[in-house]
């Protein structure tokens, strides 16, 4: 559809696929794992949910960071209809729901908690064998046999165990950062600070990531959820302070802050 393009035309394209253009991170530390994510779900340029929770529980001791899109092809819509009765759901939600169900049965059969490796393998089987699904997942958990473990399961469904993993559109900006900042055997606080800093850096650069930073820490003692509001995060190079309205800039003392 041809529109009259002028300078102020914001093409929102509200019929674009819902995308969890995202930043997700999983990091092991000495004693457990820290999972982190942003909270933005976007439809094209509109933020459909600015406070979504992308870190989903699978069992008491295993969580998964989800990224990917709501796929509108027939096959996955058929699947989603079965379980969501007409409401749309992200592929990653379907996968994690199935896996949560399988893990629950497995726990009953086994008589004890499932391990993070088993959770990751079940996710991998669904992801690998159903290639039409669009999911990028990071599984993190703690069990008494292996301790804290992180497993990355990107688009094609490969499963790879790593000391840390990053995913989502915002992760592109973090590869160099982690090369420099990651080290073996961090403490819990060091690891969480690293995750929060990383998500915050990605939010600054990636338009599809934003909102708040959520973290989940899993260790032998249990699970802790933390929340870092977006406006309390450190400002990076050339980042503007949070504004209620950009029009306020015109009334401020310096109406052209980017003018050097």
Rg (alpha carbons) of the chain, rounded to whole number: 20
Name 20's bridge partners.
Answer: 68
| Shortest Å distance, C-beta 86 to other proteins | 31
At 237 the three-state DSSP class reads: coil
C-beta of 122 vs 203, nearer to other proteins: 122
At 119 the three-state DSSP class reads: helix
Check residue 122 for interaction with other proteins (CB under 8 A). Answer: yes
178 exposure class (CB count in 10 Å sphere: 0-12, 13-18, 19+): middle
How far apart, in Å, are the Cα atoms of 50 and each of 22, 94, 202?
11, 21, 15
Check residue 81 for interaction with other proteins (CB under 8 A). Answer: no
Applying the rule CB under 8 A, the residues between 154 and 193 that interact with other proteins are 159
Check residue 108 for interaction with other proteins (CB under 8 A). Answer: no
Q: How many residues touch other proteins (CB under 8 A)?
A: 14
| Shortest Å distance, C-beta 104 to other proteins | 14
116 Cβ partners below 8 Å, 6+ apart? 61, 62, 139, 140, 141, 142, 143, 146, 149, 151
10-18, 76-84, 109-117, 184-192 -> range binding other proteins (CB under 8 A): 109-117
**Strand pairing of 160-162 and 147-153?**
antiparallel
At which residue do the structure tokens 């893990």 appear? 103
Check residue 149 for interaction with other proteins (CB under 8 A). Answer: no
| Shortest Å distance, C-beta 120 to other proteins | 7
Q: Distance between CA 252 and CA 260 in Å, rounded?
A: 16
Q: Which of 76, 92, 96, 115 binds other proteins (CB under 8 A)?
A: 115
Q: Which of 55, 118, 138, 233 binds other proteins (CB under 8 A)?
A: 118
74-82, 93-101, 119-127, 208-216 -> range binding other proteins (CB under 8 A): 119-127
Q: Which of 16, 48, 49, 106 binds other proteins (CB under 8 A)?
A: 106
| Shortest Å distance, C-beta 115 to other proteins | 7
Q: What angle do CA 47, 48, 54 make, to 5 degrees?
A: 95
- Residues identified as active-site: 22
Chain positions contacting other proteins, by CB under 8 A: 106, 109-111, 115, 117-118, 120-122, 124-125, 145, 159
């Amino acid at each position: 559809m041809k529109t009259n393009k002028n300078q102020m035309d914001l093409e929102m394209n509200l019929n674009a696929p819902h995308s969890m253009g995202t930043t997700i991170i999983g990091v092991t530390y000495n004693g457990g794992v820290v999972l982190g994510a942003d909270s933005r779900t976007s439809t094209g340029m509109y933020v459909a949910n600015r406070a979504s929770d992308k870190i989903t529980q699978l069992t008491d001791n295993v969580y998964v960071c989800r990224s990917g899109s709501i796929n509108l092809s027939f096959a996955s819509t058929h699947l989603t209809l079965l379980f969501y009765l007409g409401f749309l759901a992200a592929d990653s939600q379907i996968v994690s729901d199935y896996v949560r169900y399988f893990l629950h049965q497995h726990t009953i059969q086994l008589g004890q908690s499932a391990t993070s490796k088993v959770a990751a393998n079940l996710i991998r089987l669904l992801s690998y064998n159903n290639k039409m699904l669009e999911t990028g997942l990071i599984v993190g958990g703690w069990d008494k046999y292996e301790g804290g473990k992180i497993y990355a399961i990107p688009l094609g469904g490969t499963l790879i165990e790593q000391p840390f993993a990053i995913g989502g559109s915002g992760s592109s900006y973090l590869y160099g950062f982690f090369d420099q900042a990651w080290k073996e055997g961090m403490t819990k606080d060091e690891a969480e600070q690293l995750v929060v800093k990383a998500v915050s850096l990605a939010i600054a650069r990636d338009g599809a990531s934003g909102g708040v930073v959520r973290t989940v820490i899993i260790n032998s003692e249990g699970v802790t959820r933390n929340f870092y509001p977006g406006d309390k995060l450190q400002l990076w190079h050339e980042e503007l302070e949070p504004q209620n309205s950009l029009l306020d800039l015109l009334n401020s003392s310096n109406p052209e802050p980017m003018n050097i």
